[in-house]
Amino acid sequence: MVITIDGPIASGKSTAARLLAQRIGFYHLSSGMLFRTLAYLLVKYAGYKEEKLSMPAQKDIEYYLNPARFICSFDDTGKLHVMFKEENIVPLLKQKQIDHYASLIATDAHVRQALLKLQHSLAQSNNLVVDGRDSGSIVFPNAAIKFFLTASIEVRALRWQQKHKKLGYDLSLQEAINQIESRDDRDKNRKISPLVIPNGAIVIDNSDYSIQETVDIMESFMHR
């Protein structure tokens, strides 16, 4: 069974997905992690520069996602592990620069198709809460329940600022707003799989809710 959570950057979808998955005993699949992984591998091992990331060669995508060297799995706590040549690279993917690179490769049709296949294969043998931008619209249009999380730009900018502070980057509120607006623009206006509210999705504006309250609301829909 698959539950999807989509939403713009800093809408809280990743944390909500992780907590919801824990509560209901599902695995949490952050599809953004898959985009980050591929971006990281292309830059680190294939020597891609920023300009080339929006059009990676298909042979490189296939090479780096080949199960002979690339394996996704979940540990006992439900956490995603991405092993490349036997190293779990998830801890290396949180950097701001990788997030930026991921948003560049995310515009490429071959990348999206390869990662869609990967997500389908993970869903074959696991119950998943998947978060992303196109999880309920394109990747799992028949998901059991679809959520779309959002919040006001001010609230999202504050969350973005706090998240970056923890990573050691100080941003002014205006810088955070600018970055969020530019990312929203890229996510919503790209030709392939733009961020949309999926058909049949339950929309939750969590500007005034804590993350626990957000997950409470989501869980309440599961019992209806």
3-class SS of residue 152: coil
Rounded least distance, CB 189 to ligand DC, Å: 12
Residue 102 in the binding site for ligand DC (CB under 6 A): yes
Q: Determine which residue in the list 17, 65, 108, 134 makes contact with ligand DC, applying CB under 6 A.
A: 134
Q: Distance between CA 16 and CA 218 in Å, rounded?
A: 9
Q: In the bound complex, which residue of the shown chain has the CB atom lying closest to ligand DC?
A: 32
Contacts with 124 (C-beta within 8 Å, 6 or more apart), sequence order: none
Q: Distance between CA 10 and CA 7 in Å, rounded?
A: 8
Q: Measured at the alpha carbon of residue 108, what is the angle toward residues 58 and 141, in degrees to the nearest 5?
A: 110
Task: Looking at residues 21 to 60 of the shown chain, list those that interact with ligand DC (rule: CB under 6 A).
Answer: 31-32, 35-36
User: 9 vs 180, which CB is nearer to ligand DC?
Assistant: 9
- In the numeric block, which tokens belong to residue 141? 């249009």
Residue 132 in the binding site for ligand DC (CB under 6 A): yes
User: 9 vs 80, which CB is nearer to ligand DC?
Assistant: 9
19 near 66, Cβ under 8 Å? no
Rounded least distance, CB 85 to ligand DC, Å: 22
**Interface contacts to ligand DC, rule CB under 6 A:** 9, 31-32, 35-36, 99, 102-103, 106, 132-135, 187
